[in-house]
Amino acid sequence: MPGTDQPAYREAGKGQAIVFLHGMLGSSIYWQELMDTVSTNYHAVALDLLGFGNAPKPKHSNYSREDHIEYIVQTLDRLGVDEPVILVGHSMGALIALALAVKYPQRVARLILISMPVYENASQARRRITRNGIVPRLMYYGPIARMVCATMCKLQPLARVLAPVYFKHLPKDIAAAATMHTWYSYSRSMTNVIENQNVLTDLQQIEVPVVALFGSHDNVASASNLRTIRRCCMDIKITIVNGGHHLPLELPTAVVQAIKGQAVSSG
C-alpha cells in the first residue's frame, strides 16, 4: 500500500458525497461529464484508482481488491468524507465498489454498479476479455503485452498522442489517460480484481441498496451470468439498457437517474 504518496482525485459541488470509481485503464477524467451534471446537488468525488491515472503506482502492491479498497478509504479520510456515500463504479471499479461496500457497509449509503464484469472463473474472464482472439490475447496477456506496456511507460508523451487512435471509441482525453498505468498495476489488477473475483459471494453479503446497470450490447458482461445474479440475489435491482460497455459516456442520463434513485428506462 502507498505510504505518504498523495492520492489523485477530482471533486466538485457540495452536499451528500458521490464517489466515482473508474474501470481498467481509466482515470478520474472518465467521470468529468457526470461530475459536471451531479455537482449542482452533490459533492462529487472521482478518484484515480491505485496504480492508474495520477495515483501512486507502488511496485510492491499486489493491486488486490483489499489494496484498492484501503487506498480508497484512506483517500476519503484525507478528504474528510466520513458520511455514507453513494458509491458508483464502472467495470473494474464496480467490482472494487462492491467489495468495499461488503467490507465497510457503514461507509456506503447506496451502490451503483455499471457494466460490472461477472465471470464464473478466470478462464471465462480471459475468453470474454479477449473474445477468444489471438491478437487480443497477445495484447492483453504475456510478454508481448508487458513489452508494449513498458514501451508506453518510457514513451509516455508519444503514447498519449497515439492512444486515441487505438481507443477510437473513447473521447480523446479519456483515451490519452488510458496510458497512465504500469505493467504491475495493470496485470495484477486484471488478475486479482477482474479474473479472481467474488461477485456472487459479495452480492449475497451486501447490506446496502444496490442498482446494477448493464448495456444490452456489452461485449464484456455475460448475459448468462446476469441471470445467475437474478437467481441468487433477488434484492439486487438489475436494469439492462440499450447501450454498450461505456454507459457513463453513452447514456449519462441513465446513470444520473440511478444515482438519484429514479427509475431507469430499460432497453
Give the 3-state secondary structure of residue 104: coil
Give the strand pairing for 17-21 and 85-90: parallel
Q: How many CA atoms lie within 13 A of 112 on its CB side?
A: 23
- Domain with 169 in it: what CATH number? 3.40.50.1820
SS3 11: strand
Number of domains in the chain: 1
What sign for the dihedral angle of Cα 184, 190, 193, 195?
A: negative
Does the pLDDT at position 39 exceed 80? yes
Residue 209 lies in a domain: yes
Residue 27 domain-assigned (yes or no) = yes
* CB count in 10 Å sphere of residue 10: 18
Choose the weakest-confidence range: 4-8, 15-19, 64-68, 93-97. Answer: 4-8
Q: What cell numbers appear for 189 in the block?
A: 489488477
**Mean pLDDT, residues 30-45:** 96
State the distance between the two ends of the chain, measured CA to CA, in whole angstroms.
41
Is 246 part of a structural domain of the chain? yes
Kindly write down the DSSP assignment for every residue of 154-223, as one continuous string. HTHHHHHHHHHHH-TTS-HHHHHHTT-B-HHHHHHHIIIIIIS--HHHHHHH--S-EEEEEETT-SSS-H
- pLDDT-derived band of residue 243, with 50, 70 and 90 as boundaries? very high
Which tens digit of pLDDT belongs to each residue from 136-145?
A: 443 455 555 6
Domain around 206: 9-259
For 180-233, the pLDDT digits (tens) are 888 889 889 999 999 998 888 899 899 999 999 999 888 777 666 777 787 777
Would you say residue 4 lies in a domain? no
pTM score, whole prediction: 0.88
